[in-house]
Amino acid sequence: GENVEQHPSTLSVQEGDSAVIKCTYSDSASNYFPWYKQELGKRPQLIIDIRSNVGEKKDQRIAVTLNKTAKHFSLHITETQPEDSAVYFCAAGGTSYGKLTFGQGTILTVHP
């Protein structure tokens, strides 16, 4: 089955810096890669996703890159703000089947 590894487990940055979180996956059949943000005590919410027919996708300060050959994808947050502090999860799955496997999560702390 699919295995998703996420690094780092914790990340601390100063406000205005960039943050990068990386994930690797094992199943070459996976073609859907979402990222979720989870604030303390709340449900995970989708912030961006990418499908295997594109290499990069941007949405304002957030971008995701995908390297299908190397089986890794990354989340990039620029100009970080304190409200970006949360746990971030990557996931990998297929668009033709329902199973979605999550990474272990990254606790991002942005210091003012």
Partner 1 sequence: EAQVTQNPRYLITVTGKKLTVTCSQNMNHEYMSWYRQDPGLGLRQIYYSMNVEVTDKGDVPEGYKVSRKEKRNFPLILESPSPNQTSLYFCASSGGAGNTIYFGEGSWLTVV
The residues that touch partner 1, with contacts defined as CB under 8 A, are 1, 6, 9, 31-32, 34, 42-46, 49, 51, 89, 91, 93-105
Which residue, 23 or 110, has its beta carbon nearer to partner 1?
A: 23
For residue 104, the minimal CB distance to partner 1 (Å) is 4
Judged by beta carbon, residue 11 or residue 100, the one nearer partner 1 is 100
Phi–psi pair at 62, nearest 5 degrees: -110, 140
Least separation in angstroms between CB 49 and partner 1? 7
23 burial level (CB within 10 Å; 0-12, 13-18, 19+): buried
CB of 14 to partner 1, least distance (A): 26
